[in-house]
Amino acid sequence: MDEAELPPNTPDPGMRVALFVTCLANSFRPSVAEASLRLLEQAGCEVDIPELQSCCGQPGYNSGDRSGAASTARAVIRVFEPYPYVVLPSGSCAGMLRIHYPKLFDGVWRERAERLAGRVYELTQFLDEVLGWRPRSTTRPEVFAYHDSCAGLRELGIHTQPRQLLAQAGHTVRDIEGSEVCCGFGGTFCARMPAISARMSDDKLGAVERSDAQTLLAGDLGCLLSLAGRARRRELPLRFRHVAEVLAGDLETPAIGEAAD
Amino acid sequence: MSASEAERSIMVRLRGLAQAPSATAARSELARIAPRPVLSEPGDVSATCDSFLERAKANGFSAEAVAGRSEAVHAVAAYISARQNHRRFVAGHDARLAAMPWRDAGLLPRFGVATAEDQIAVSYARCAIAETGSVGLWADRDNPALNNLLCDAQIILVNAGDVRQSLNGLWEEREFSEAAGGPRGIMMVSGPSSTADIGMQLVLGAHGPRAVHIILLEGRA
Amino acid sequence: MEQLSRDFLARADQALAEPERAANREALGVLMPELRRAAIGALGGRKAFEKLREELRVVREHSLANLAHYLDEFMEQARKNGSEVHFAASAQELNERVIELCRRAEARRVAKGKSMITEETGLNAALEAEGFAVCETDLGEYIIQKAGETPSHIVGPALHKPESEIRDLFLAEHDLGERELAGAPEMVAEAREVLREQFLAADVGIIGSNALIAEQGLSMLVTNEGNGDLCANLPRTLIICTSIDRVLPRAVDAMTMLRLLVRSTTGQAVSCYTSFYGGPRRDGDLDGPLEVHFVLLDNGRSDILDSDYREMLQCVRCGACLNHCPVYMSAGGHAYGWVYPGPMGSVLTPLLTSLEEAAPLPDACTACGRCEEVCPGAIPLPDLLRDLRSEKFAAGITPQRWRFGMRVHAWLCERPRLYQLFASLAVGLLHRFGRRRGVISRWPMAGGWLTARELPVPAAGRTFMAMQRSARASRGSREANQ
């Protein structure tokens, strides 16, 4: 295909959805990808998981490797642009495709990036807003604290969707103090500036401890892995799960950072 | 005065970067993208005054409305005698202040500029702003700026007819040149001098007046 | 001012180890977002805020795009008002010009209002080296001047000073007799007395400016203490030090800025004193300076204007991005190592000094976007920081191992099969080493992550994509067998 020209814009009609698993779910938490797949299928979607997927390119983009991010973005655009919907179980990866890809290009690639951007959704947003899907009632209602990942909250406006879905499933969601404040993950930030990052994580963990929930949910694995890693280092009795797992009824998989029995 | 080397080089560079070909073109572009707002919208005077007084109090002023000049003088006297045991205060040469019947209330104004020894100053504001509960004080020959700054307490009179709705109303008189008799500056005061620089505790009277009393003259008398 | 941004991490560690000096900052980090939210709520909520900042953005963008025209107009009007306007290309030039003006005024004592521009140029030290006695009069500035420290916040310079340190400072520096200065009100009263003497004795007043109004040749100054007004009206010479980018076309534009500025700074609807200075005393005036000088600093701003970072000049110096930045809240203002901390400082410092000297600052950001959300100047701070990181990367300032790592990552991302192969290998290894505990504490090349946290290991021994492939393969063979 000559990529200097815009490919035909003929996405399939119907609820054909491409699931972009995201690199963290693929490697660290396959249960999130499984849960996402299950939820989308329950909601009546025909789900494709394109084989040629890797990472959305955020690490390079946020570290200043613009050309690397652009080449990654082109690879992602090529794979996902044939689909009418692209869904990701991550606010920051969805934000990367929706908000940031177009900024990486001019000309035809910009148009392709913008066209894709319009079809990209974070999972809970897609389930709630696009599909109007309602979860089944859980048989094991729990009290959860919820962490809004910054990219989801501010780039995509994700706040009520996961809370509403969890409530409809019969769970109780507690807001924590400073819920709009970053948890300290920030991609490579947490590795570049670990002391500051840990301080931010501790503030977040403290807020969770002050709530009456023992489990923190979020829609982004980056935040969850870093918070769970910090909590384990400090031996705090908190648990961490992705919202997709809970909505799909998967409470069997050990929580993030916990050993399998 | 000839332009310095710095001025020349900076301005040459900036002229090269300027978008509009001329100042006039820039001005008309501005008028197109951001039309000058109406400075004062007509409104209900008493509602405007009420919201001014309400916001002024929220700003930490004490405030009251009186019918006219005679009542104002008595209100000044009451405020002064509650704060000090003599009846002296300092005031600028503003004709409106000079015309007040101070002696009716036994008050002893000294007309001029405040010094560090004066305890209370009485000033007449040019306007008040309902949007923010502020008073607009001109700095000119009749209204020394120091009278707004050096005393422990200040009383500011303002006419109900001069209360304007929005901050833009501050600019109804647009002439600031000396030739046109404009003031050298404007002080918009919106509360007693305050600071929170120590322990984030709000303390009044950082440098200027610790207390400011607003008297709104409704002009009914 | 000395540039110490290179030591950002070490200085942040120091701040993290001084909880008593972080107490005010942390309180501010909770209080200011609440106050700001309430103030924006009273204004009509987020929509009203967005509308207002769009109004300001349009005007600001226009005035920056036509800066030469509006500076010309400002100069003409200011000179008509009897003021003198001077330019300074560099920090040193500003200092030299101010020293010259002080000499001309035969001054000995200088009273100063808060001015970040003169922090940037290091004016106090320059004046003192020439024998002038300089006294900061903003209470926060006065405190850090007495303590020999630098500002840790652009609005509250002494934010890092706990009350007890200020008490000790006053006890050591002031003649207090038997007085003990029980609390903040007593300390403020003490400073008021001391500073009143300074105002009355000063020959020259030096203040900053929040905006220059071209139409009338005025300077707007926003304070709560009123110290700027005393500096502007008591000494016989007034010098207003500001930068060339502060010009707004009209007074009504300054009102738009004011509405946003104060709400963003303190959560007030308006500051206690908003003053407009037009020039020296006029015929018959009983007070006011005999001379008024504007010194307009460039010091890199025309370079910013001529760059992709132009939006940064829309900054109104409100401090909201500091108050809402979790990195600033953790690291403290001094970590940033120069005049301007927090998100605005992380953009401005590399631009006004150099990317090499300020190398760590663009990384001091999690891209959480809270700064951009509250910025009254509508500055896309996270994007600008990301652009600076790209410059660092391109210029080879980013450490070699990071650049190498990112290039390898990007190379793999373009080759998903290879990427997945590597992911499978890594997942297998991590799982094998960590499954007993669920986390690992040591791993080659994961030092940054593992400094402060464990690494949760993959719960399954295989990647999701690998599982999918097997599932597809077994489905395929079942179908083939049927």
- Surface of B (155-174) touching C: CB under 8 A: 166-168, 170-171, 174
The stretches in chain A having pLDDT less than 50 are 1-2
Q: What is the pLDDT of residue A1?
A: 44
Nearest residue on chain B to C306, judged by CA atoms?
B17
- Token pair listed for B219: 């002009």
Alpha carbon distance, N-terminus to C-terminus of chain C: 80
CA distance A43 to C239: 69
Nearest residue on chain C to B168, judged by CA atoms?
C252
* Signed CA dihedral, C265, C271, C273, C277: sign only: positive
Please report, for residues C91, C103, C106, C284, C437, the alpha-carbon distance to residue C131 in angstroms, rounded to integers and kept in the order given. Answer: 19, 10, 12, 34, 67
Residue B6 three-state SS: helix
Q: Say if residue B43's pLDDT is above 90.
A: no
Where do the DSSP E strands lie in chain B? 62-66, 88-91, 108-111, 120-124, 127-129, 134-139, 153-159, 163-164, 185-189, 194-195, 203-204, 211-217
Residues in chain C closer than 8 A to B139 (CB atoms): 233, 285, 288
Residue of A10, A175, A192, A6 lying closest to A105 (CA atoms): A6
In Å, how far is C398's CA from the nearest CA of chain B? 32
- How many other CB atoms sit within 10 Å of the CB of residue C473? 10
- Token pair listed for A46: 């025909």
CA B136 to chain centre: 2
Q: Is A107 left (phi over 0), alpha (psi -120 to 50) or beta?
A: left
Chain C interface disruption, residue of A20, A24, A28, most C CBs within 10 A: A28
CA distance A200 to A178: 11
Where do the DSSP E strands lie in C407-475? 439-440, 455-456
Q: What are phi and psi of C85, to 5 degrees?
A: -115, 125
- Interface contact C139-B4, CB threshold 8 A: no
- Interface contact B208-C224, CB threshold 8 A: no
- C98 in contact with A, Cβ within 8 Å: no
Name chain A's partners: 3 or more CB pairs within 8 A: C
- B136 in contact with C, Cβ within 8 Å: no
Q: What is the pLDDT of residue A8?
A: 66
Residue of B164, B152, B49, B149 lying closest to B92 (CA atoms): B149
Alpha carbon distance, N-terminus to C-terminus of chain A: 50
Q: Are strands C439-440 and C455-456 parallel, antiparallel or unpaired?
A: antiparallel
What pLDDT band is residue B174 in, cutting at 50, 70 and 90?
Answer: low
* Identity of the residue in B34, B92, B208 whose CB atom sits nearest the CB atom of C226: B208
- Interface contact C87-B7, CB threshold 8 A: yes
The CA-CA-CA angle for residues B53, B57, B59, to 5°, reads: 120
Dmax (CA) for chain B in angstroms is 66
- Interface contact C277-B185, CB threshold 8 A: yes
DSSP letter, residue C268: -
Nearest residue on chain A to C19, judged by CA atoms?
A199
Q: What is the pLDDT of residue C438?
A: 95
The CA-CA-CA angle for residues A163, A166, A172, to 5°, reads: 85
- Token pair listed for C143: 């405190």
CB burial of residue C308 (10 Å; 0-12, 13-18, 19+): exposed
* Identity of the residue in C12, C363, C426 whose CB atom sits nearest the CB atom of A195: C12
- Interface contact B167-C88, CB threshold 8 A: no
Name chain C's partners: 3 or more CB pairs within 8 A: A, B
| Average pLDDT score over residue span B140-157 | 96
CA distance B127 to B145: 15
With beta carbons less than 8 A apart as the criterion, state whether C78 and C275 touch.
Answer: no
Sheet with B120-124: strands ordered across: B62-66, B211-217, B153-159, B120-124, B88-91, B108-111
Chains B and A touch (3+ CB pairs under 8 A): no
Residues in chain B closer than 8 A to C263 (CB atoms): none
Residue of C208, C218, C209, C288 lying closest to C249 (CA atoms): C218
Alpha carbon distance, N-terminus to C-terminus of chain B: 55
Enumerate residues 6+ apart whose C-beta is below 8 A from B197: C138, C139, C140, C143, C156, C157, C158
Q: What is the pLDDT of residue B221?
A: 54
- Token pair listed for C443: 């791993």
In Å, how far is A90's CA from the nearest CA of chain C? 15
- Interface contact C409-A55, CB threshold 8 A: yes
Per-residue pLDDT tens digits for A194-216: 999 999 999 999 999 999 999 99
- B23 in contact with C, Cβ within 8 Å: yes
With beta carbons less than 8 A apart as the criterion, state whether C297 and C117 touch.
Answer: yes
Q: What is the pLDDT of residue A15?
A: 82
pLDDT tens, residue order, chain C (482 aa): 889 999 999 999 999 999 999 999 999 999 999 999 999 999 999 999 999 999 999 999 999 999 999 999 999 999 999 999 999 999 999 999 999 999 999 999 999 999 999 999 999 999 999 999 999 999 999 999 999 999 999 999 999 999 999 999 999 999 988 888 999 999 999 999 999 999 999 999 999 999 999 999 999 999 999 999 999 999 999 999 999 999 999 999 999 999 999 999 999 999 999 999 999 999 999 999 999 999 999 999 999 999 999 999 999 999 999 999 999 999 999 999 999 999 999 999 999 999 999 999 999 999 999 999 999 999 999 999 999 999 999 999 999 999 999 999 999 999 999 999 999 999 999 999 999 999 999 998 888 999 999 999 998 899 999 999 999 898 888 777 76
The CA-CA-CA angle for residues C355, C359, C363, to 5°, reads: 120
CA distance C136 to C145: 7
- Interface contact C24-B176, CB threshold 8 A: no
Q: What is the pLDDT of residue A13?
A: 56
In Å, how far is C412's CA from the nearest CA of chain B? 43
| Average pLDDT score over residue span B101-130 | 96
Enumerate residues 6+ apart whose C-beta is below 8 A from C41: none
Residue A44 three-state SS: coil
Q: Say if residue B69's pLDDT is above 80.
A: yes
Instruction: Name the β-bridge partners of A173.
Output: A144
